[in-house]
Amino acid sequence: MSNLKGVGVALVTPFNEDLSVDFDSLTKLVDYNIDNGTNYLVVLGTTAEAATLSAEEKKQVINHIIKVNNKRVPLVLGIGGNNTMEVVKQIEEADLSDFDAVLSVSPYYNKPNQEGLYQHYKAIAATGKNIIIYNVPSRTGQNIEADTTLRLAKEFPNLIMIKEAAPNILQYFDIIRKKPANFNLVSGDDEYTLPVTLAGGNGVISVIGQAYPKEFSTMVQLAFDGKIREAYDIHNKLVDITRLIFAEGNPCGVKTILAEKGIIKNTLRLPLVKASEGLQDKIKAEMKNI
């Protein structure tokens, strides 16, 4: 799946002040990313506040992004949950003709053990669809250990990649070092993007990347090209803003930046709220530094 290489971005869902989906801003966001070097788009991930969208709104967002994208870059669709049978059903019933893969987060809240996580992805793999495993223990409450990921990667060829967001970067390196050739790893942590890519990763599925697509995609391409010093110049310039956008949770920080850039309105759906005034001031100040 070499077409899922470089910078993928987990798109936010823009809202109007009345909390309806802002499709005009969504068009601007997609075009802004494609025009500035983003390699592929992730639709309805966690960053999209997908948990707050109705089934009908999800269909509308999917169809709108497909239309605006117009086959310019590959698309990935987020379908995950903590009810394995329901996740399998959703994947089997989804029209994936415009998508290269499904990004499926590991079960949250249930906190299954490693065998349970293995069986969950084994069931999803049985759909025959291209699946990206998503490990984000800070949100799910349970880590997919490297041995479990490698076991899955070796047994199921349609589990094509992992979006790894474990807090321990050594786990990324263990997977990269031991994985089969047909299985890839992308960083799920923006700040780890450069070292993980240099170690043999396939890039990132990013949050900050949608706000700074030109800088982030250039940084990752420099890493692929072995131009380490130039890549780290960009990395170091973006570290502070990257940390700031996650200071009060995601996606309130990146929505602050995108609103300041005039791409979307700074609106979120409960239970999420926009960044505090203090954090917004810090983000805007750092934007000026950049």
Encode pLDDT of 119-153 as tens digits.
999 999 999 999 999 999 999 999 999 999 999 99
Could you give the residue numbers annotated as active site? 134, 163
Residue 252 neighbours by CB under 8 Å, 6+ apart? 268, 272, 273, 274, 275, 279
Q: Is the pLDDT of residue 1 over 60?
A: no
- State the residue for tokens 């003709």: 97
Encode pLDDT of 62-114 as tens digits.
999 999 999 999 999 999 999 999 999 999 999 999 999 999 999 999 999 99
Structure tokens at 83: 């009810």
Structure tokens at 27: 């068009």
Burial of 127-154, coded b for 16+ CB within 10 Å and e otherwise, reads: bebbbbbbbbbeebebbbbbebbbbbbe
> What is the number of other CB atoms lying within 10 angstroms of the CB of residue 282?
18
Q: What whole-number distance in Å separates Cα of residue 236 and Cα of residue 230?
A: 10
Q: Is the pLDDT of residue 2 over 80?
A: no
Structure tokens at 7: 């910078």
Q: Is the pLDDT of residue 265 over 90?
A: yes
| pLDDT for the residue numbered 51 | 95
Please report which helix (H) or strand (E) contains residue 9, including its range: strand 6-10
Q: What percent of the chain has pLDDT over 90?
A: 99
- The closest alpha carbon to 234, from 5, 7, 4, 3, belongs to 7
| pLDDT for the residue numbered 118 | 98
Mean pLDDT to the nearest integer, 3-13: 97
Q: What whole-number distance in Å separates Cα of residue 179 and Cα of residue 183?
A: 6
Say if residues 8 and 42 touch (Cβ distance below 8 Å): yes
Question: Residue 169: phi, psi to the nearest 5?
Answer: -65, -20
Mean pLDDT to the nearest integer, 215-225: 98
Encode pLDDT of 103-114 as tens digits.
999 999 999 999
